[in-house]
Chains A and B, each alone.
Chain A
Amino acid sequence: MKQTALLLLLALSACDENLSHTPPPMDRFFFPGSLALTPVPSGNALAPVVGGNQALLVVSANFDLRYDKEAGATLLSVDPAAAVAGGEGGSLGRSNGDLVKLGPGGRLGSYAGPVAVADVNTCKSLGGAAQAFVASRYTRKLYHFPIGANGEVAPCQGGDCVLALDKDLLDPGPVSVACRDDGVRRSLWVSYLRAPYVSGIPPGTAWLSEFDLGDLAKVPRTIVLAPGPIGDMAYEKETDRLYAVGRFAGLTAPLFILDLTPCVYDPNDTSDPPACRTANVQTVDLYQVVHGAELVGIALSNPQAGRPRLAYISARIYDEAYAAATMSRPPFDVGGALLVVELQEAVSGEPLARVRQVVPIGLGAGMVRVLPVRPGLGDLVVVPSSGDGSLQVFDDEIHAISRVVAIDGTTGAPEAGRVPFSMAVEDRGTEALVYVASFADWTVSVLRVPMADPSSADLLRDPAGKPLRIGRQKQ
């Protein structure tokens, strides 16, 4: 009996051992946590169809560690164009959920975070091939994948695509490209969701590592901000400022404003102060305006002459009294909000952030995306609520939510998929396409927003009215 039990135990452990090295599937999404679009100048699939000149990059996070921990997440590039009869076209709406991939795709460490792309749109001065950057919280590394001329993503070759991050900091996640058109700045910023006690700095403090996109081999410079690990960032190239929102670190909702210095740092510069000074950091606490707010995502308004620059910040609302009593972030939300924040400089020149409007949204606020500019009009902003599976289109011209894509009246399922969180926006001139990743359904759906009539925004659907998807739905 004893011998049998032992053999059984050995067999089971052997099975477990096999699972831990199982490579991830490269033909589907699984818990897609992040999206990005990159232009494909040569075009792809057929035109005129949806998404004719874009490659859709999708990060599957391996958040449940069902695959190889060290390399169980994936970055796939797919053609997001609509499928057409005869098996032609792109990935959108294929009946079997197959993906029309661009390149074999790449593997990276598990708990992969958001993806940032340095390409002709985001970093014009960089030149060369576009690159995608993703950090892994499991391996604590930054991965960069060159993107081919046709949008292909290839596997990581050797160790060239893996960059070391700060050894003392944990859970690297949000990344942001910050590039100026004059080439003075070509930076990639990586933040950390968790920080222990480091060099006298208390745990829970926000840290940022800056990479030089012009020389990725250079050791990154890491700077400290203030309490509130960073959840998302947005770069304003007109003023060379980086805005970042901090997650829960007590009863505070910090918005960090970094005045970046117009120089390229040299890690070998030992002078004091260094020739290239670090950023000047200001912190604005938005908590006093919205108690219980935990800031999640940030996006900046389109710059327009005569209009103030705004930041649209999504927030999850928790029970403040519960948090104060337990001295921890409550495990549940009680609401969500979109904050419309005016960014100005005070009379004394210091950056000011003033909450102009608090717009209630659904539970589980996700990332924010601003749609292309409507000259002379306020912006259109899309924000998902992962808690109830809804998408909200906010029209800053009327200062109200003009459209909500919520649940299917027949089935009760969220039409955009369960747990929508991350999005990518494509400018199509008279309309914008918003690609929405459904974390729980393993698919991507597409919201079409007519720029002149945003209230009529709707998901792309098949003739029967069912939303079209990219990818195979989780069974």
Chain B
Amino acid sequence: MKHLTPWLLAVLALAGCAKNTARPTAKMNGPTGVAVFRGYGTDQPGTLRHLVAVSNTRGDDLRVIDAVTDQVLLGPTLVAALTIPTEVRPTLIAAGRLDDLDPVAAAAGNTIVMDRPDLLVVAPRGLVARPAQAGQFAAAIQVVVTWDPAMRVDRTIDLGDVAPDATVTALAVIPAVQPDGTRLHGAARLLVGLSDGSLLTLLATRAAGSEAIVVADPAPSTRQDLGFTALDLAANAGGSRLYAATIDPIPGPGGVLGVAELDMTGPPGAFPVRPLPARAGTTRVAFMEVAPFENNDPAASVPDFDLFGPRVPRVYAAIDQSACGRDRSMPCGVAAIDPVAGGLAADPAGEMPFQLPFQLDGEVIDLATSGPPLNSEKPGYVQLAPGSGKRWTQSLAAISSSAGRVYIADLSHFALANDVSSLVGTARARVFGSSSVQSLTSNAIGLWSWLIPVDPAADPWQSYTGAFAIVGVGVTPGYTPTDNWSVTYQGVLPGLGSRLGVAQVSSAGQPPATVALQQDANPAGAPTHTWRSVVRVYDPRLAIQPHDIVEVRAHDIVMPNGSTVKVCPLGTFEMEVTGILPPTADAPGGSLALTPAAKQPKNTGQTEPADSACLPQGSSEVTVTVRAWGYVLRGSTTGYAGRPLEVLDPPDETVPPFQLKYENEDLLSCPIMPDAPEDWPPPADAVAACEADVVTCRATCERLVLARRARRIFYVTNRCANGHEQACFNTWVQLPDSADGKPPTMRLPMPLAFPLPKGPAVAFRLAVKRESGRTDPPERGAFLAFSTGSGFSPAYRVPYNGGAISGAVLPGRVVLHDRSEATGSKTDGIHGFAAFSDNLVLEFASGSAGQNATTIR
């Protein structure tokens, strides 16, 4: 034993000396908010660092991450992550700089901004117990110590006296400005949006002789009644303008839906408010000075260097989901607002009345913007890395969505970054797959070749059916959606197949005069009606036209003894639409005026044609199917897309093809198509105005419906020039020469002009293959089907674990941080941090591929 003791001691000593390299994890607990700030940590107490604060709504605390190393800050014991206890459910978090001036430099007349700790605040969503008033609850803001390595809550500001019963709905820290718009250095403004429609302004200043930050007490004089509830706040870089997202009408003539701009050079508590209309309310907002794409650089050898214009201010706002849609005046997504012009930013392509919002899946949870990093391999540029390849741009945004993703937007190129090329390759915008369906005795629907023969005498224009018909469809990148299409002869109009309806027969032995497509939720014979499943046949979106076919099937009557009485023994009969009647109390969706079809069908098992006069006098419950009188195009997602006409043989290229094409929707007025569903029926004067010239009115309405369905879905800014992007040029602009150098024998009917090409979503010339000498149409129901791909796969970031996506659900807030500012490295660039409900924070670099993102747990 005596001899073993030294050895044992040595072993123990070595064990004690062994380094434990494992670092405690962050142990997130319901992270929802993130904010970047500068402060001190316990492990490097004298070093001011760039840090990320994460609010844990389930843990009721904050965690802090080093924004450069992604390491979680440790607590004083160094064995666990730093935990800063807060009030319950800390949901909102904000940080900002005070931009203190170097006093020595200032005394010499120079302006040098010092690196000093930032203001960091956190607030719970609901009310919390008031410390001084037992049993009472109020909103509160907590100021976190960033100027001392011992991070903690410095102070809880009770808002109960200035805003009783109101909760915090939005929080922001912005630069403080003076009345002349210049920066008030050494100070910042803390803006608090409240649920009672007010905005509270608190001033934060640097304590004399220290780095501590003092936030002034809330005062009634700095509380401003806005008249709307701010759901999110963002400021411009200098702090002279504040932007508030709201779904409430912003006070002003008529009440404006959009974003409110507050002039922060005014007195706190009385900032002038200017509405920025966005055609719909907004829920999230961010600001950015954006240098917009203007043109391609003709001298650049690499097709990703573009020419950008001077920086312009832009406000990006998430559109209220309940107020937008494909068939409405404002599409959903993140819209761009021009605060100088005072409304939606202009369409860079000069086609739509506004710049297309960024379209993405799910509800926008948060958005963050950034310009280029301070230090960059390409000064003044920031790099993005979508799956289609790295590219340089001037500004970007990160958008977190309830679909579990953080989308990456290229603000300068007006679009979400695209993971694929929309112009070349197998994923580009294209047609794939087609088929024709017809009976053995009928004619087949096909398409004339999209490419036009250069010399029709030498190369006759061909038509194709079946799988070969894909050569007959024209598409445009940026417009063509991913969809499955069908062109059907006398096809059922979308949503109008086998619908319950009520037919009206004025006197016995007569056919029905009208039919309303609706269902009575009350039993037959009840004195009153409760209409539901009301088809708004009067609404132009359903695209019913005179001469459309209405198939009517009567409902049999079941007698008490169980026997069945057939109301119409000869089966389903057909009517033709003669007019579309406005809504009434008995027909809240309107009704169709009818006349018997010229020829009645002979139903299965019958020897006689159907009888259109079989219904009894009065109202009868029927099942109705409405068919187009001719050909109808529909997409499974797009819906009704127009009524192409057959192009007879030989086709005339001077006659334009059928096109689902956008035209400026603001130039088309349809008074009988209210924007909001709850505004149905249209007002009486609008109906009267339309009925005064119903043919013109309905034609214009149809154009508006189709224009909205042909809206652009993303912007294409490639040059696509000959000798530069050759494959693109030969696909969209000019066909290549043959292998032996001879010019092509075919040409594109509508070559596209780049950048920002404009064209139809789909286009074609309809053909019918018949036996020689025949002119009859195809059989009812014969159709041609084809599919299109959009060439658009928006880039997004999600958390990974072991190479597989993990925890990509319900993200919260997102921030963007210039890491190069902290490191001075040109390769560091812009990094994003996004909180996810699954107890993690996702960190990603804008210039790095998705799989390289870091998951911090």
Interface residues of A (CB under 8 A from B): 182, 184, 238-241, 259, 262-263, 269-271, 274-275, 280, 288-292, 306, 308, 317-322, 325, 334-335, 337, 342, 344-351, 354-358, 360, 362-363, 388, 392-393, 395, 398-404, 406-407, 453, 455-456, 458
Contact = CB atoms under 8 A, between A and B. Distances in A.
A354 B320 CA distance: 12
Interface in B491-514: 494-496, 499
A374 B192 CA distance: 27
Contacts of A263: 523
Contact of B362 (A274, A290, A455): A290
A401 B125 contact: yes
Contacts of B169: 398, 400
Contacts of A289: 361-363, 402-403
B770 interface: no
B162 to A, nearest CB: 15
B808 A320 contact: yes
Contacts of A288: 361-362, 403
Contacts of B137: 403, 455-456, 458
Given A291-B809, A292-B810, 9 more contacts: A239-B530, A308-B322, A344-B677, A346-B495, A347-B539, A348-B496, A349-B495, A360-B810, A402-B125
Given A319-B806, A398-B229, A403 B127 contact: yes
Nearest to A342: B322
B532 interface: yes
B434 interface: no
B806 A321 contact: yes
Given A335-B838, A356-B321, A406-B89, A362 B126 contact: no
Interface residues of B, number: 71
B769 interface: no
Contact of A238 (B126, B327, B530): B530
B167 A270 contact: no
B195 A398 contact: yes
A292 B404 contact: yes
Given A290-B362, A292-B810, A348-B494, A402 B126 contact: yes
A345 B533 contact: yes
B61 to A, nearest CB: 13
B517 A404 contact: no
B165 A456 contact: yes
Interface in B76-131: 88-89, 124-127
Contacts of A270: 562
Nearest to B321: A356
B46 to A, nearest CB: 35
B749 to A, nearest CB: 34
Given A388-B58, A398-B167, A406-B89, A291 B195 contact: no
Given A348-B496, A455-B165, A322 B58 contact: no
Contact of B589 (A238, A349, A350, A404): A349
Contacts of B526: 182, 184, 262
Nearest to A324: B805
A360 B837 contact: yes
A316 to B, nearest CB: 11
B523 A321 contact: no
A21 B672 CA distance: 70
B282 interface: no
B619 interface: no
Contacts of B523: 184, 262-263
Contacts of A362: 30, 57-58
B71 to A, nearest CB: 23
A458 to B, nearest CB: 7
Contacts of A241: 532
Nearest to A403: B126
B499 A290 contact: no
A290 B810 contact: yes
13 contacts: A290-B402, A308-B678, A317-B810, A317-B837, A334-B839, A335-B809, A345-B533, A346-B677, A350-B533, A393-B126, A402-B167, A403-B137, A404-B125
B629 to A, nearest CB: 19
B125 A400 contact: yes
Nearest to B528: A182
Interface string B527-549: 00010111110010110000000
A259 B521 CA distance: 9
A455 B809 contact: no
Residue of A275, A363, A395 with highest tally of chain B CB at under 10 A: A275
B558 interface: yes
A319 B322 contact: no
B402 A358 contact: yes
A341 to B, nearest CB: 10
A306 B523 CA distance: 27
B363 A402 contact: no
A363 B30 CA distance: 9
B247 A325 contact: no
A388 B89 CA distance: 12
A269 B166 contact: no
Contacts of B125: 400-402, 404
A250 B90 CA distance: 33
A327 to B, nearest CB: 14
Contacts of B166: 455
A385 B656 CA distance: 61
A337 B810 contact: yes
B544 to A, nearest CB: 11
Interface string B582-615: 0000000100000000000000000000000000
Residue of A322, A393, A455 with highest tally of chain B CB at under 10 A: A455
Nearest to A315: B810
Residue of A270, A322, A357, A360 with highest tally of chain B CB at under 10 A: A360
A9 B499 CA distance: 69
Contacts of B810: 290-292, 317, 334-335, 337, 358, 360
B305 to A, nearest CB: 37
B363 to A, nearest CB: 5
Nearest to B559: A275
A402 B404 contact: no
B165 A347 contact: no
Contacts of A402: 125-127, 167, 195
Nearest to B799: A321
Given A241-B532, A289-B362, A395-B195, A334 B837 contact: yes
Given A262-B523, A291-B403, A347 B495 contact: yes
B195 A259 contact: no
B1 interface: no
Contact of A399 (B32, B231, B365, B837): B231
Contact of A182 (B167, B320, B522): B522
B518 A349 contact: yes
A138 B432 CA distance: 54
A349 B533 contact: yes
**Top 6 A-B residue pairs of the complex, sorted by shortest distance between their CB atoms:** A348-B495, A335-B837, A292-B809, A334-B838, A275-B558, A398-B195
A36 to B, nearest CB: 27
A259 B809 contact: no
A321 B804 contact: yes
Given A335-B809, A455-B167, A259 B495 contact: no
Contacts of A349: 495, 499, 517-518, 533-536, 589
A275 B560 CA distance: 10
A348 B535 contact: yes
B287 to A, nearest CB: 22
B683 to A, nearest CB: 15
B247 A399 contact: yes
Residue of B135, B165, B518 with highest tally of chain A CB at under 10 A: B165
A50 B500 CA distance: 50
B519 interface: yes
Nearest to B840: A334
A291 B808 contact: yes
B805 A321 contact: yes
A218 B320 CA distance: 49
Contact of B321 (A259, A357, A403): A357
A382 to B, nearest CB: 13
